[in-house]
Copies of this chain bind each other. A is one copy, B any other.
Amino acid sequence: MFQPGGDKKVLCAGLICLDILSVLDHYPVEDTDNRIERQIWQKGGNCANSAAVVAQLGEQAEFIGTLATGRAADMVLDEMREFGVEIDHVVMHDGCDFPSSTIIINTHTGSRTIIHADKDLPELTFSQFQQLDLNWYKWIHFEGRNMTEVSQMVNAVQEFNHSASMEDRIIISGECEKAKYQPEYFISTVDVLFVAKEYAQHHGFTTAKAAVHGFHSRVKKSATVVCAWGEAGADAMGPDGVHHHTDAYSPGQVVDTLGAGDTFNGAIIAAMCRSLPLDEVLKFGCRVAGRKCGQFGYRGLRE
């Protein structure tokens, strides 16, 4: 593993959107009027969530992605700033619809029903990514989507690493979550591979242990594979090939599991930046993700 540089930043490159959570004690019957006490507006998007967690856990964090100009963008960017995440390189598009999700949380069953507005906002391009001075970063985390562009970004960081001194090399991590986005390019290229349960299941794995073993055989020699499996905890395997498992951390009462995976990823990145041993990294990730499930949103996750 590379030793991360001192004052450099963790960059998360991916999606940011607005999540509007309606919290009910039932699932609404069609064509009825429902009054609720609690509605939560928060930034969403895997990478935006992970960046907010990384920043909270004490690392300098930056997010890059695209946004449609307007009040909703101002809202989520305000929130990113509050979390201490730098957003100076976010690419703004005029005249596009703002990406947002309406999420109905039924506290009685714990179900989350998601209505995501998949709009016309272009995703981050390689040429926009090239505007970044890579000397500022010690870690770049990519979301597994928009892979035509993202694979070029990964290549550019690898090229930078080839000519950089050992201490200036950037750790690259990638999240394989949705199989439909075909994030396979990450498997052979990144230093830390996050395999989501959904993605592992798509590839026939039924446990985190099996997934970690399976993917570890395909990653770079120096790479680490991490896989969280909800209530079954999380597993990981580093370059030494030793398998680690940690049980899930129970928050007492599960309140909101939305973004628990993004929180886990952010906590793993923050722990690895501190060069903790892998079993400690894994425990830390599960603790922070568990704490998140015991509350709404992403605030107050620092221990």
Partner of A97, one of B39, B102, B117: B39
How far is B41's CA from A102's CA once the two chains are assembled, in angstroms?
12
A217 to chain B, nearest CB (A): 31
Give this chain's copy count.
Answer: 2
A111 and B72 form a contact (CB under 8 A): no
Partner of A111, one of B30, B114, B115: B30
Give the number of chain A interface residues (Cβ < 8 Å): 39
Segment of A19-27, A208-216, A236-244 in the binding face: A19-27
Partner of A114, one of B34, B104, B119: B34
Which residues of B lie under 8 Å from residue A119 when comparing CB positions? 37, 39
Query: Does A163 interact with chain B (Cβ within 8 Å)?
Result: no
A36 and B117 form a contact (CB under 8 A): yes
Query: Does A94 interact with chain B (Cβ within 8 Å)?
Result: no
Query: Does A32 interact with chain B (Cβ within 8 Å)?
Result: yes
Which residues of B lie under 8 Å from residue A28 when comparing CB positions? 104, 113, 115
B30 and A114 form a contact (CB under 8 A): no
| Nearest 7 interchain pairs by C-beta | A39-B117, A31-B111, A71-B75, A27-B30, A22-B115, A34-B115, A33-B114
